[in-house]
Chain A
Amino acid sequence: MRTLALAALALMLTAPAPAHAQAPENPVQENIQIGLSTDRVSITTDFSGADLTIFGALDNADPLVSRQGRYDVIVVLEGPPRPVVVRKKTRVLGMWINTQSETFLNVPVSYSLATSRALQDITYPENYRQMALGSENVTVTPYDRNGDAATITEFTAALRERKRASGLYSERIGGVQFLSQNLFRASLHLAPNVPVGTHRARAFLFKNGAFIKENSAQLVITKAGFEQSIYRYAQTNGLAYGIFAVLLAFLTGWLGRLIFRKD
């Protein structure tokens, strides 16, 4: 398990709040910032999952609200969207066979969330639903929009449940910690089977249970040189790749016979 300390962003922590010339009568709006020191994570041969730390800061935080602990932060790392087929097994002639299926578009491959407090203590469930926040509420679009509503609900729930069971959707309560009144740190987990692609880190700021502001940053997860070369070669030159795999097998079989022969 490695820790990828992905950034300390301490911008504007010491600087005074900038004056908002265009709206002088309004109290200054809080803002949330996150930043990644690297926008790229490489999966190497020994990759077995990793912890990802994202640092962030609040701008223009009200010191009074801060002291009462009424600011809450939720950080989400969302994987690239891909189509997914959910299949359901039912009993046919005593055997469990895939009989029904439902296709969903734009399903985030992974979804990992960290919060500063238990979700129910931050805001109301309907707010989470509206914002599609939390592994229960991830937006998924059924391919067949005119399908039976009950079936779609059932398969949507199954999709989220299977994703959680595989560790690709996870929630870490208390994964966001305030280091000072303005500075916070979010720890997220990258599963060993984390998908490659462009991930999006999003940070949500809540004040007294109300959503204030969101900010996001991109993180590209790629296979490291060797793994990437093999993958790309298999995709683009499947035939040559197959021939190579067979030659490797011949060589291994022949060498194995020479080295380990027992007769």
Chain B
Amino acid sequence: MGIYLPIAEMSVNMVMLLAMGAAVGFLSGMFGVGGGFLITPLLIFYNIPPAIAVATGANQVVASSVSGALVHLKKGTIDFKLGTVLLAGGVVGSTVGVWVFSLLRSVGQLDLFVSLLYVVLLGTVGALMLVESVRAIQRARGTLPGTAPKATQHNWIHRLPWKMRFRTSKLFVSVIPVIVIGVFIGFLASIMGVGGGFIMVPALIYLLKVPTNVVVGTSLFQIIFTAAYTTIVHSATNQTVDVVLAFLLMVGGVAGAQYGARAGQKLRGEQLRALLALLVLAVAMRLGFDLFVPPSSPYSLSSLSGL
């Protein structure tokens, strides 16, 4: 069933987009990430212009993170104070990101930059997560001797000034790394059309030592607002948010997310992380493949505005 997208100015298959949203929603509910890192490349594979895929992806992330964060709100696993500090950084990073986005689009290197960011970040995060989770699985089976790394170890981050107390996370830490993480995630969010959950979750766990049960909720809470801000800024400066496309993805996404969350509860934490790592690596490899394999035609057309 075809539906015409008013901003992308093309006709697409509605069932296909709903299914795409549902599949990504299922995975995002299962792993507690926004799913933006899956939806944006999928839209680009589906011939949606990259600029529209990125901005619309951010809009879809708002819906799936609201849906996910409500679950954590009920359980009380959101650190609002930590989330707000991250958000302050996120707004700054996002503003810079949208500006860089427009600049890259005008010189024709947006696709390259977005692809490179995806390959490098997804590849790194996926590989690290895979190694960590495989070791955890081996430890659980008793095949790997040694002890789990102590979460109480203090590193250089804990020696920085301007410390602040975050009660829900049972944390007393400098605001500098928190804001830096926020800026970085906000920047990525606006350029890649992602919420940044796949980076935020490991950063909070490994760098700030936030307890794992608080991480996903806080990350989702923060992502809602970063993605919302990104959507609005893209819409105001580039007019690239296609609300019809976003709505189709959201409807599929929120439905899939709730089923995914239930499926996720049946798996153990390290198994879940290993699966997510494989998924992230698969996306990175698919995008890397496109960068290195000769394209079917070396030429491409774009209008002056880059759409």
Check if A246 sits within 8 Å of B299, measured CB to CB: no
Check if B6 sits within 8 Å of A195, measured CB to CB: no
Chain A residues with Cβ below 8 Å from B303 are 82-85
Check if B261 sits within 8 Å of A262, measured CB to CB: yes
- Check A44 for interface membership: any CB of B closer than 8 A: yes
- Check B294 for interface membership: any CB of A closer than 8 A: yes
Instruction: Decide: A47 near B6, CB < 8 A? Known: A84-B303, A242-B231.
Output: no
- Check A125 for interface membership: any CB of B closer than 8 A: no
- Among the 9-residue stretches A53-61, A116-124, A210-218, A252-260, the one with 4 or more Cβ atoms under 8 Å from chain B is A252-260
Residue B301 contacts which of A86, A238, A260 (CB distance < 8 angstroms)? A86
Check if B300 sits within 8 Å of A95, measured CB to CB: no
Residue B71 contacts which of A97, A193, A228, A257 (CB distance < 8 angstroms)? A257
Interface residues of A in 36-94 (CB under 8 A from B): 43-49, 82-91, 94
- Check B155 for interface membership: any CB of A closer than 8 A: no
Check if A158 sits within 8 Å of B258, measured CB to CB: no
Quick one: closest A residue to B66, CB to CB?
A: A253
Complex formed: what's the CA distance from A191 to B234 in Å?
29
Check if B254 sits within 8 Å of A45, measured CB to CB: no
Nearest 7 Cβ contacts at the A-B interface: A256-B254, A242-B235, A253-B66, A242-B232, A249-B62, A48-B2, A260-B258
Q: How many residues of B contact A (CB 8 A)?
A: 61
- Check B158 for interface membership: any CB of A closer than 8 A: no
- Among the 9-residue stretches A4-12, A25-33, A128-136, A161-169, the one with 4 or more Cβ atoms under 8 Å from chain B is A161-169
Q: Scoring B residues 217 to 255 as 1 if CB is less than 8 Å from chain A, else 0, what string do you get?
A: 000000000001001111111010101101100110111
Check if B299 sits within 8 Å of A88, measured CB to CB: yes
Give the shortest distance, in Å, between B262 (CB) and chain A (any CB).
Answer: 4
Complex formed: what's the CA distance from A253 to B261 in Å?
14
Check if B11 sits within 8 Å of A245, measured CB to CB: no
Quick one: closest A residue to B235, CB to CB?
A: A242
Complex formed: what's the CA distance from A96 to B289 in Å?
11
Complex formed: what's the CA distance from A69 to B195 in Å?
65
Chain A residues with Cβ below 8 Å from B258 are 256-257, 260-263
- Check B267 for interface membership: any CB of A closer than 8 A: no
Quick one: closest B residue to A241, CB to CB?
A: B235
Residue A234 contacts which of B4, B63, B235, B300 (CB distance < 8 angstroms)? B235
- Check A186 for interface membership: any CB of B closer than 8 A: no
Check if A238 sits within 8 Å of B237, measured CB to CB: yes
- Check B304 for interface membership: any CB of A closer than 8 A: yes
Chain A residues with Cβ below 8 Å from B67 are 253-254, 256-257
Complex formed: what's the CA distance from A231 to B258 in Å?
32
- Check A223 for interface membership: any CB of B closer than 8 A: yes
Check if A192 sits within 8 Å of B10, measured CB to CB: yes
Complex formed: what's the CA distance from A238 to B239 in Å?
6
Residue B299 contacts which of A87, A249, A255 (CB distance < 8 angstroms)? A87
Complex formed: what's the CA distance from A25 to B132 in Å?
95
Instruction: Decide: A254 near B70, CB < 8 A? Known: A242-B231, A263-B262.
Output: yes
